[in-house]
Amino acid sequence: MGSRLGSYVTTFLTDSIFHSGDVQATGIAVCIVSMLCFSLICFLIGLLFGKPPGNNACKKKKYLVRTVSRGCQFGRSRPSFVSNIGSKKAIARFPKQKNSVIVSCRELPRQLNNVACLCCKIVAAKKNCRYTRCGSCCRGNKASICHAHGTGGTAAQGIVEGACQDKPTELDLSYLNLKRCPDRIGYIGSQLVSLNLSNNRLASLPDEIGFLRGLEEFFLQYNCLTELPNSIGNLQKLVELDCKNNRIRRLPNTLGNMTCLSILNVTNNGLQSFPSSIGKLHELEELCAHSNQLTELPDEICKLENLTSELDISSCELVYLPDSLSRCTSLVKIWLSNNKLKAIPDQMGRLNQLKELHVRNNQIRYFPASLSYLQLYTFSANHNPLIEEWNIESILNLSVQPSQVIPPLSELSARCIVKNDVYWSKGDVPTALEDMLLNVRQCSSCEGPFFKHYKSQVVFSNVGVFHRVPLYQQICSPYYNTHCQPVDTK
């Protein structure tokens, strides 16, 4: 029957395909026959040489057997482990004991946490110990710097005692997890130029730190300091003081004694104000105080004439900037972002060296007209409620036009008193004139004083490269403007 069926199939393929003359059909048939033959051959090889599939239901869970003897001390007798036990032969090699414990593979890391101390080999070492030692062995090593056992203080004390004898010029005590300064740190000597106490947990500094009179670099960042000692004012040769990322709420008034200080960084602290003595830092070039609780700046900041590099007071609580800030004519970068400012000084345009001004995320509605005189490379004023150019109502509310061509006599008298720096006290001038003198303003063009007779308007002009912002200008002589020219609105 099978031979007859085979002959029929062969006859059919021969007559209908191979003798049909259709080359495409013949090629397809050859491929199909070849694939069938290859599959049949693979099946036969699997039957002859393959292994029968195992029963998955009978698979046994792998276990580890740990034998523990009673009363053994850690480190003297080691437990024996047997892995991959799945047959009676393997179990027979390790006969069961009364104290044997069966632990699964997943439980093994938890059971093997304790490691013997590398020094005494008796007591278990602490998990996070840098030297894999127990507490007594780790603390007994004077050179040990381990956060787990708190041995940084001992090591630091040894370093300071050695420095008192060796008299180095640089001393690095960072990353030692110190909670207080080592004793006798102020007696290292005046030859010490650089001291690094950063990345510790210092809560205070000793008064003897003022004995290091030759110090030029002092790094205190990333600690827990709440204040600086008054004796820090004795470091009169100090050039750089870095106190960022602490909890300092006030700076000592003796800060002004460090007349050589050029870099002061008090970023990310809790400062609420600067001492008035900051105006004595005539060599200060860079002041970074962002991320604090400052609400205002002292007027003495105008005395920082060498503040050339950067003034960063962003991310504070500033609501007002003193007009004296415009006297720091050497400033190149000013960061005022993320504050509560409603205005910036009218004479900001006097900072002719300014190249970067950042005032993002404030409450500013318009900028002073003098800002258009600056050649800013970077100017960012996003996220401010600026007056739109189509908001005619707001623009008209800020526009003032005097009714008289010539200022009144009281206005002219007040202007003369302010221009000539005439000293006066309460009761020397009439009450009306006294009220005027207490509210002096400056012209946006000539910077001259005025009080009630002026012209004001809002214009829109380009500041920087791409920003067109509202500018508020006040002209003291609106009718006789020979030296008071309004801002160009092109």
pLDDT digits (tens, 9 = 90+) for 353-410: 999 999 999 999 999 888 888 888 889 999 999 998 888 888 888 888 887 777 888 8
The three state secondary structure string of 180-202 is: CCCCCHHHCCCCCCEEECCCCCC
Provide the residue type at 108 as one letter.
Answer: L
Which pLDDT band holds residue 134 (cuts at 50, 70, 90)?
A: confident
Residue 290 has pLDDT above 70, yes or no: yes
DSSP 116: B
Q: What is the pLDDT of residue 61?
A: 40
From CA 259, how far away is CA 239, in angstroms rounded?
9
Closest CA to 301 of 319, 274, 269: 274
Q: What is the pLDDT of residue 480?
A: 62
Closest CA to 446 of 473, 472, 408: 473
Which pLDDT band holds residue 110 (cuts at 50, 70, 90)?
A: very low
pLDDT tens for each residue of 423-452: 888 878 888 888 888 888 877 777 778 788
Domain limits, the chain: 63-111, 152-380, 393-475
Mean pLDDT value across residues 460-488: 74
Residue 329 has pLDDT above 80, yes or no: yes
Provide the residue type at 39 as one letter.
Answer: S
Q: What is the pLDDT of residue 246?
A: 96
From CA 331, how far away is CA 308, in angstroms rounded?
4
From CA 362, how far away is CA 342, in angstroms rounded?
7
Q: What is the pLDDT of residue 211?
A: 93
Q: Give the Å distances, CA to CA, from 208 to 197, 205, 216, 227, 229.
A: 15, 8, 16, 15, 9
Class of domain 152-380: alpha beta
Residue 413 has pLDDT above 60, yes or no: yes
Closest CA to 450 of 362, 346, 325, 376: 346
Extract the runs of DSSP E, i.e. beta strands, from 177-285.
194-196, 217-219, 240-242, 263-265
Which pLDDT band holds residue 8 (cuts at 50, 70, 90)?
A: low
| 3-class secondary-structure state, position 355 | coil
Provide the residue type at 366 as one letter.
Answer: Y
Task: Report the chain's mean pLDDT, rounded to a whole number.
Answer: 78
pTM: 0.66
**DSSP H or E stretch at residue 431:** helix 431-437
Residue 100 has pLDDT above 60, yes or no: no
DSSP 13: H
Instruction: Please check whether residue 390 is in contact with residue 410, taking contact to mean a CB–CB distance below 8 angstroms.
Output: no
Label residues 15-34 b or e (16+ Cβ within 10 Å = b): eeeeeeeeeeeeeeeeeeee
Among the listed ranges 63-77, 174-188, 245-259, which one has the minimum average pLDDT value? 63-77
